[in-house]
Structure 1
Amino acid sequence: MAVHPSTPRDPGSGDLGISDVLNLVRDCTAALSSVRQEVGAATEAQLLDLVSELGELALWSDAAEVAVVGDALTRGLPAASQVPLSPADWIATASRRHTRGSASRVVKIAEALRSPTITRPAGALAPGQDGEVLGEAILGAVVPLPCGQVAMDEMRRLAPDLQPAFVPAAWEAYALVGAGGDPREVRRIRPELYARFGRPDRLNDRDEGARKHAFLSTGAVDPVDGLTDYRMSLSAESAAILEAALDRLTKPQPGPDGGADPRSYPTRRADALIELVRRATTHGVVPTVAPDTGAGLQGDGPGHPAADRPAAERPAAGRPASQVSLIVRLGDLRDEDGCATTITGLDAGRYLSIATARLLSCNTMLAPIIVDEHGTPIIIGHSKRLFTSQQVRAMQLRDDGCSFLHCSRPAGWADAHHLIHWADGGATEIDNGALLCNHHHHVVHSRRLAGWVTTDPPDDTLGRPPGSSETSDAEDLARRRDRGEPAAADRP
């Protein structure tokens, strides 16, 4: 976040009495009323000075108004006046600048800045965590009032989900970005703060909730224009994969006459999505959707030979159009703290939790760029961390489906998972791998569960361990028929 705020000038020494200040404010008002008549005689340099000084004056005027209103509220003046009024009505009556609505916004921020508890969303926090940094920046005309109002609102929403130790850092971030003067930029930093400093339990709940509520509607046909409308919502993980896959296919293509691509950007995205589906269904990789897996297509993930082959072995038509590229610090990946950032295509800049980054790094659609604490790349790409198609086939034969306790999903719905993550030094070997369905793959990463390979029979306290599912052909046939799928001998 690149912010270059201007440092406000000290308007005075603070030695003036309130009567002197009031007289100077009146003189300033009188001077401003004559600017329109005198500005025609100004030189270029004087015009620039006027623009600069008027900007400073506006910032200090807003800050001073908040300070005055805050003091009036502390004294209880609106309710104690000759005609008792609400604070907003009291301001609107005294100032022709304000309506009741605009006055209410001033009251809201004045109350927040004068109360040490109003900005605390729940329970008591340690000193320094209730917004003094942002409050001083607003009252000191460093953060413009509109940005300050947005920052206060954003922190009220964000603070309950932050780790308490990082709440001061979030306040400082809002003060820094707010000094840039753009409320839109202030709103944009909440996803990053949430990803970097959010409570792990809230992050996991959010990610699980997003996956559970992902949907793709049934198409609604418009009989007039012939178009079919769909609605879709995806988790951050699924959206990153989709955007990366669409990225290359949405680039403009020359028209038939060599001219510019006549298609609009939304049309190119629609064409790209259909092209992805066409390739998947015409090259022997028929997608199937497993329950509880969101909107993922199982034909393009680990556990499927066409997708799990190294690039040199994979058919050209089966190669993904693009990849999700992530930047993540090695320490964050190992400690499962902080966040990762996507850097591919339109989806660049999306923040993903470390649990999601670790899960995606089991997938061929991810090309991680691991950096050290100084941001220097130390690991690029994924050639040494992916299971080969032969390894996946071996795990399919060994595990016979998802290896999570009591899960009956077949191998065709499973991802190849590192029991010890490659970022933690785990080898990409069969003895360090296990099949997990998409749902339980998320569960293992979000809850930081561990597993191991064993040939001992499973019991009710452990998941079905990889390597423990060796069965006879008759047992295999019975189990597969119970699942409603053909056994090996029945399959084409």
Structure 2
Amino acid sequence: MHADRAEEWSPPDPESPLAEIDALSAEDYRAFMDELSAALGEAADAELAARPASERVADGLETARRGMRCATVSAEEAATVLDADLAGALESVGELQTQLGAVGFTLAREAAVRGLHQDVAMSLVDWLRVRCPWLSIQDAAQISAVVTVSQTPTTAMIGEAVADGSVPVHRAATVARTMTRLKSSLTPEQQEDYARIATAAAARTDLSDRDLGRVCHRLLEDLLEETEPEGRERTAIELRTVTRRRVASGLTRFTIDAPDGDAAIISGVLTSALAAPAPESKAQGDEGEGDGEGSGGAGGSGGGSIEPDTRLPGQRRYDALMTVIRRGVGNPGAPPSTARATVLLTIPFDPERGTPAGAASTMEGDYVPPRQAAELACSGDVTPVWLTADGEPLALGQDARFASPAQWKALAVRDGGCSFPGCSALPQWCDSHHLDHWARGGSTDVDRMALLCGRHHTHVHQRDLTATVSGGTVTWHV
């Protein structure tokens, strides 16, 4: 705008009341307009700062929405944008995402401080996803992780870095989780020093997410190296963990940090005979030997020659580990005393054909191919649950105070976890709740029970909430 005004500049008019301004050169005129614009901007900022925060947040977000509508372009329109403009626009989008994440985090942190999620007996993750349905579990968990560490004075700087827009939420979450792991092994002074180092690394744009992960990992290594020998074992136990990350469709990566003693046990399994290559040949008609469990290798079937074991070393170690896990889950000779130790596999059933009617799934929602489901359903370590056409398991009733393991399994399949609205607790962490209180004559039948996590079980009893079951769906009257 200033350049256009400069081009329209003409010789000064001596009679003009603005003769002093008209006497300015084009360069001076531009400088004058810049100063005027800055002064007006400062005045607007001062006026904005004087307004209530609730108005500023609402107006600012509405302005942002209008701006995004203006910035929305179709694929055809985007094709007309020049390369430099396209790159610049993408950089601006990244900056806006960080700023929007900062606002969202600040509001979520305040909601957590006020205990809004606790008022409805929810975790912060579940509460955020109810308020923001488009938010993924991972994104909500990242916000929750940063909010949690921000409540400790020694690590509050992590949250402040997100709030001022210098660190994106997902990078701050990496730092937050690292500090949560290290917290019990650090003094308050060390917590502050470690948090400052990691937060500074997270704010550096020249460090990738992988590089940030390496920085956080190095902090863990340094802690173990600096710890006195007598305290190193205790520190290692505090740092034990298993993390799970989806690599791609059909493949999940587990990472284990194990203290040396436990690592020796795991290594013993991975280097045991279970991980050895299967024999490459057998005499024709030899029936073979073994304990009947197998290690998952290519060989092992009787009658005729056996093909060479083509498994890679890593695959053989995996098969050895799974063999031990399956034995533990199956627990031969001593069935689990509670259904929480049972792996459930739901398999749709076609009553007309008397055969499975589709792919199976675990209680976590993971897809299991039909052929593998049929194989797992025959093993002793997995409990197959056959579903009716409308997805409801057969109701089981017993004249008993507590739900039987079979009833609990039926509830787990029907409810899929905690039945309270908005809760994402898995079935393994839920208890069976009588919709009609036992003391009031309620019966222990599947159609009059529902799964509730510990938090919501208490919440329901405290408020004497009721629910109805219709068509395999539990509806809570809240």
Give me the TM-score of the superposition, normalised by structure 2.
0.36
Q: Which has the higher contact order (CA 8 A, sep 6+)?
A: 1
TM-score, normalised via structure 1 length: 0.35
